[in-house]
Amino acid sequence: MKIARFSDAQVMGILKQAEGGTPVSELCREHGMSSASFYKWRAKFGGMDASLITEMKDMAEQNRRLKRMYAAMSMSETIF
């Protein structure tokens, strides 16, 4: 699994700077990221605060575990 380079707080800070009027190209250069990353974050996290991002990531992890458990159970049923 890929390790995130920016924390949730950093992502929120960058998005807040953009909302404040800082040009996206300047933010990308300052933080060493691509503009595609910025626009992906804005589409995914726009309008959220840090607690909502953390909750969303926790729910995604729980969903991933449940899918893995379901796949393991269905594989064990086909073997017997």
**Mean pLDDT, the chain, as a whole number?**
87
Domain identity same for 1 and 16: yes
Q: 41 and 62 share a domain?
A: no
Identify the pLDDT of residue 60.
Answer: 94
Q: Per-residue pLDDT tens for 56-69? A: 889 999 999 999 99
- Residue among 17, 5, 60 nearest 42 (CA): 17
Assess whether 44 and 54 both reside in one domain: no
Tell me how many domains the chain contains: 2
SS3 per residue for 8-77:
HHHHHHHHHHHHCCCCHHHHHHHHCCCHHHHHHHHHHHCCCCHHHHHHHHHHHHHHHHHHHHHHHHHHHH
> Are 54 and 40 members of one domain?
no
pLDDT at 54: 84
Residues 18 and 56 in one domain: no
Query: Which tokens belong to 34?
Result: 């691509």
Give the pLDDT confidence of 6-29 residue by residue, as tens digits: 888 888 899 999 999 999 999 999
Q: What pLDDT sits at residue 36? A: 94
pLDDT above 70 covers a percentage of the chain that reads 92
Please give the residue range of the domain that contains residue 5. 1-48
Same-domain status, 19 and 55 = no
